[in-house]
Amino acid sequence: MFPQDKLKHLSSLCFSVLQSCHHKVAASSPKTRIIGASALFLAAFTIGAAGFAPAEPDLRDAPVNPISKELALPNLQQQISALEERSQYYVNEEKVRSGDTLATLLNRLGVDDDEATAFIKSDTLARTVMQLRPGKRVVAQTDDNGELVKLSATLDDGSDTPKNLVISRHDGKLTAQAQPAVLERRVEMRAGIIFSSLFAATDAAQIPDAIAMQLVDMFATNINFASDLRRGDRFNVVYETYYQNGDLVRTGRVLAGEFDNAGNRYQAVWFSDPASKTGGGGYYAFDGKSLKKAFLKSPLAFTRISSGFSMRLHPILGKWKQHTGVDFAAPTGTPIHAAADGVIDFVGQQNGYGNIVVIKHWGGYSTAYGHMSRFAPNIKKGMKVSQNDVIGFVGMTGWATGPHLHYEFRVNNQPRNPLSVDVPNTQALTGPQLQRFRSVAADMQHRMAMLRVPGAPDVKLATIK
């Protein structure tokens, strides 16, 4: 309740207000009397509410009742005894070293178990632990006596769905199983600069060789990596990696790439439409134009041009003659790829060409590949081939002074320079596909901007084989 003095003061104040209002209401118009009566009612209600409103309690004199309870202390001896009765295991982790034998690896893992050693050597699956590459992680669990309880490692099978090798002991019997590995996907971003070669630059940037090869494939129709690279060329790349327990298990796909070569910048971004019924995907420019070009710039990877499309002194005939193709010098046995989709028109020997394959394409285009050491298996006339299929291998059959590929590009059977001929790209993205692509491209453009150095060249349209 309110203290008495405050309540009395409030009542007196409200009574004066009521009295004043009463005199004014009595001498006023009907409208004024209605408003005044409402005011009198609200004032009377306020006095009643004030009289019954609870006051804040005073806790200074509240009684205090202390409560005490005895708690039983844990029995440490029982806990120690329970731990002593329980089996204790030890976990060791090691990486495979170059020159490791099974004995040296198990010794570092703390395994002293002749039965386990014999099992790993004899079991078909278990002995794959002896084939692990240097640097691979192996984890072993042993008991007090060094007896193997469990051993696990990620298998080096090169597949997209890697597995874990698990050797375990149950009821005294050892078994080996291959279990699916749970991988963590990461997206990594790297940048590099060319000083001597692409692989030297990617090694310096800590980019895996598999990613470097994808870069070559991405830009092979625009850049000949054997002859077009210049000191100071730069590249940026965004790619997938897959880890398990902090170890790199495998690399994935290049998601976006950018290459500054001789003052030109080429860009590509991978897009796989989730709404597509056929699946798959391809590389596109950031505006949605497809970068897959009809013909490869070079049918070989990492070669040098030993003779161009021009007049030359023939090395065997000893006279000046028009060279109707481009010679790519490469070691014997280097795979030769079809420059574009088409049908095999000829397989066999032709005079100075030696072993040669001729492929017919659409629109009057055809390509010829000479001096092969041998043809790819099952290659025959009338067979359909796709761009990048292996059709044969570099050699020096026919009129050749060393191993190389003689590559000809023909339009209506007339030879053209394959390094300068202009051919169309495939169809660009449109409609809903283009909208989905733009969200992917925006993310990759942001990543490229973070990797890019100031003063780099303007963008040119890239093409992807």
Q: Is the pLDDT of residue 449 over 70?
A: yes
Comparison of pLDDT for 222 and 308, the residue scoring more: 222
The pair of structure tokens assigned to 325 is 């193709």
Q: Is the pLDDT of residue 436 over 50?
A: yes
pLDDT for 11: 55
pLDDT for 289: 81
Q: Which helix (H) or strand (E) holds 163?
A: strand 163-170
pLDDT for 38: 57
pLDDT for 120: 94
Residues 6+ apart with CB under 8 A from 193: 201, 232, 233, 234, 235
Cα 441 to Cα 165, 187, 216, 275, 427, distances in angstroms? 39, 15, 21, 17, 18
Specify the range with the lowest mean pLDDT, choosing from 39-48, 118-127, 275-284. Answer: 39-48
290 pLDDT tier (thresholds 50, 70, 90): confident
Residue in the structure block whose two tokens are 């014999």:
118
The pair of structure tokens assigned to 389 is 């299929």
pTM of the model: 0.53
Question: pLDDT of 316-375, one tens digit each?
Answer: 545 545 567 888 888 999 999 998 888 999 999 988 899 999 999 877 889 999 999 999
The pair of structure tokens assigned to 133 is 């590459």
Comparison of pLDDT for 211 and 308, the residue scoring more: 211
465 pLDDT tier (thresholds 50, 70, 90): very low
Average pLDDT, the chain: 80
pLDDT for 453: 65
Q: Is the pLDDT of residue 148 over 60?
A: yes
25 pLDDT tier (thresholds 50, 70, 90): very low
Q: Is the pLDDT of residue 426 over 80?
A: no
Most confident of 31-35, 68-72, 142-146: 142-146
Residues 6+ apart with CB under 8 A from 210: 251
- Looking at residues 100-116, what average pLDDT do you find? 93
Q: Is the pLDDT of residue 195 over 70?
A: yes
Cβ count within 10 A of residue 181:
17
Q: Is the pLDDT of residue 8 over 90?
A: no
The pair of structure tokens assigned to 255 is 């998601």
- Tell me the residue type at 213: M
Comparison of pLDDT for 304 and 308, the residue scoring more: 304
pLDDT for 5: 56
- Looking at residues 5-10, what average pLDDT do you find? 53
Q: Is the pLDDT of residue 101 over 60?
A: yes
How far is Cα 186 from Cα 338, in angstroms, rounded to an integer? Answer: 34
Comparison of pLDDT for 145 and 81, the residue scoring more: 145
Mode of pairing for the β-strands spanning 184-193 and 173-180? unpaired
115 pLDDT tier (thresholds 50, 70, 90): very high
Comparison of pLDDT for 457 and 283, the residue scoring more: 283
244 pLDDT tier (thresholds 50, 70, 90): confident
Specify the range with the lowest mean pLDDT, choosing from 26-30, 378-382, 427-431. Answer: 26-30
**pLDDT > 90: what percent of the chain?**
38
3 pLDDT tier (thresholds 50, 70, 90): low
pLDDT for 303: 63
pLDDT for 277: 47
Q: Is the pLDDT of residue 223 over 50?
A: yes
Cα 427 to Cα 213, 258, 271, 294, 360, distances in angstroms? 25, 21, 14, 11, 22
Are the C-beta atoms of 132 and 94 separated by less than 8 Å? no
- Looking at residues 14-34, what average pLDDT do you find? 52
pLDDT for 463: 39
How far is Cα 212 from Cα 254, in angstroms, rounded to an integer? Answer: 9
Specify the range with the lowest mean pLDDT, choosing from 185-194, 257-266, 302-311. Answer: 302-311
The pair of structure tokens assigned to 261 is 């070569």
Q: Is the pLDDT of residue 288 over 90?
A: no
